[in-house]
């Protein structure tokens, strides 16, 4: 399905997100209002809500997490947009990107000129066990879950296969977590917006205050090697290899290219979009790559007419540290089996040759699953417009990419944006 083009150009003109984290007193509609208000404030030439013609809202499972279904019109109602058509879009952890795709297609088809896209999830109302069960419904409940798999378990299987095939050890995974916490420490919206060294020092100070034995960790690796601080979740994945259970919302405004400058002098152009699907993990011939991510990437690159070397900012779906390494290979930034070496050599840090997840990624920023894909777009919006504050990537990046994965890769979406 390569060689396809959009019927007309689509621009990204506004973006906003709530803080990601655990917010016991807030539901998704309140988080969505925060994201929407920040999005409207980002429209530097002002905004008339009456211009919005449709809304697509990514949400994995508000039924299981909040006991509330039918969430799209609730979101649009709370920001005063009824009666515009509001459609909920579900694709597990890729729900947000699927909502974005619906917005892109609706504008490209000529049906609408102005579309609101949102992503929402409120996960922390459940216990971790409850959230694990809810998330498990995005796996194959006939073949995978009865065999004892959870999401950490499935990504642990991917990590184990990768280590077996390419000789990586769990040490490299720790480096990905350290790097993403370093990036997230510069992101005020991040759930765990602290370097691991800061978390470590806070734990030592807390022990001292309480008169308990003070741990002897000196380096971040001392801390990460300590099973009391960084317990195994599903070998080889430990706590700091996992994205957290999160609440959050994100929102962007898409418009047809010809009217983009009515909203801002700095529109971003959607130049490539790819989506692909795959069999569940248990039925695949390889565990060390997500074929749907590769295919979605190839379609997006081809549509955009750019190569991996042209991508200057990228947010990839690091639901677990191994997922980031695999993503950097699936997107052809590194050859198969070399992503882990690149991570170890520091190439994916902010100052490296190929920075990945400047936002802190899902690991540090948080992973409210239905919001994550739209949250990635918010980061690329800021990086390409030079408004990412302290975490701004050097060199004024002009082309950025998002890579969002549903489940273990049954749904994958890749988008490419350009500042002209």
Site for ligand COA, rule CB under 6 A = 93, 128, 132, 135, 151-152, 192, 233, 239-240, 242-245, 319, 367, 369
CB of 119 to ligand COA, least distance (A): 14
- Name the residue nearer to ligand COA (CB basis): 2 or 128: 128
Residue nearest to ligand COA (CB): 128
CB of 149 to ligand COA, least distance (A): 11
CB of 396 to ligand COA, least distance (A): 32
**Known catalytic residue: 93?**
yes
CB of 93 to ligand COA, least distance (A): 5
For residues 153 and 233, what is the distance between their CA atoms, to the nearest angstrom?
A: 8
**Known catalytic residue: 282?**
no
Closest CA to 188 of 39, 348, 364, 380: 364
Q: Which of 93, 242, 319, 412 is catalytic?
A: 93
CB of 2 to ligand COA, least distance (A): 28
CB of 406 to ligand COA, least distance (A): 8
- Name the residue nearer to ligand COA (CB basis): 193 or 244: 244
- Name the residue nearer to ligand COA (CB basis): 71 or 95: 95
Q: Which of 181, 269, 317, 367 is catalytic?
A: 367
- Name the residue nearer to ligand COA (CB basis): 319 or 399: 319
Residues 62, 41: contact at Cβ < 8 Å?
A: no
- Name the residue nearer to ligand COA (CB basis): 239 or 266: 239
- Name the residue nearer to ligand COA (CB basis): 9 or 130: 130
Task: Enumerate the active-site residues.
Answer: 93, 367
């Amino acid at each position: 399905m390569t060689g396809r083009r959009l019927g007309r150009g689509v621009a990204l003109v506004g973006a906003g997100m709530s803080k990601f984290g655990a917010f016991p007193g807030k539901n998704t509609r309140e988080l969505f209002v925060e994201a929407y208000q920040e999005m409207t404030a980002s429209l530097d030439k002002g905004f008339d809500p009456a211009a919005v013609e449709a809304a697509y809202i990514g949400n994995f499972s508000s039924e299981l997490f909040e006991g509330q279904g039918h969430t799209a019109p609730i979101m649009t109602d709370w920001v005063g947009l009824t009666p515009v058509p509001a459609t909920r879009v579900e694709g597990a952890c890729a729900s947000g990107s699927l909502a974005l795709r619906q917005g892109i297609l609706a504008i490209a088809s000529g049906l609408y000129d102005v579309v609101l896209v949102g992503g929402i999830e409120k996960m922390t109302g459940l216990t971790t066990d409850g959230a694990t069960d809810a998330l498990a419904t995005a796996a194959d409940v006939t073949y995978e879950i009865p065999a004892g798999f959870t999401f950490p378990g499935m990504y642990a299987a991917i990590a184990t296969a990768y280590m077996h095939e390419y000789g990586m050890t769990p040490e490299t995974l720790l480096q990905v977590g350290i790097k993403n916490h370093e990036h997230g420490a510069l992101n005020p919206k991040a759930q765990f917006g602290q370097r691991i060294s800061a978390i470590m020092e806070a734990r030592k100070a807390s022990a001292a205050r309480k008169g308990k034995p003070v741990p002897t960790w000196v380096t971040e690796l001392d801390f990460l090697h300590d099973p009391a601080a960084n317990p195994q979740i599903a070998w080889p994945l430990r706590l700091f290899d996992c994205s957290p259970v999160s609440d959050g919302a994100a929102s962007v405004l898409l418009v047809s290219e010809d009217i983009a400058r009515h909203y801002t002098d700095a529109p971003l152009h959607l130049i490539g979009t790819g989506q692909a699907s795959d069999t569940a993990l248990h039925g695949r011939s390889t565990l060390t790559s997500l074929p749907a991510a590769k295919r979605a990437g190839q379609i997006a690159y081809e549509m955009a007419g750019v190569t991996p070397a042209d991508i200057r900012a990228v947010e990839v779906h690091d639901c677990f540290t191994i997922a980031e390494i695999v993503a950097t290979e699936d997107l052809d930034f590194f050859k198969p089996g070399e992503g882990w070496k690149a991570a170890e050599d520091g190439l994916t840090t902010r100052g490296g040759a190929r920075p990945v997840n400047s936002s802190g990624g899902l690991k540090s920023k948080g992973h409210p699953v239905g919001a994550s894909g739209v949250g990635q777009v918010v980061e690329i919006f800021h990086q390409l417009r030079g408004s990412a504050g302290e975490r701004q990537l050097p060199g004024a990046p002009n082309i950025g990419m998002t890579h969002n994965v549903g489940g273990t890769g049954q749904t994958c979406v890749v988008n490419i944006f350009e500042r002209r």
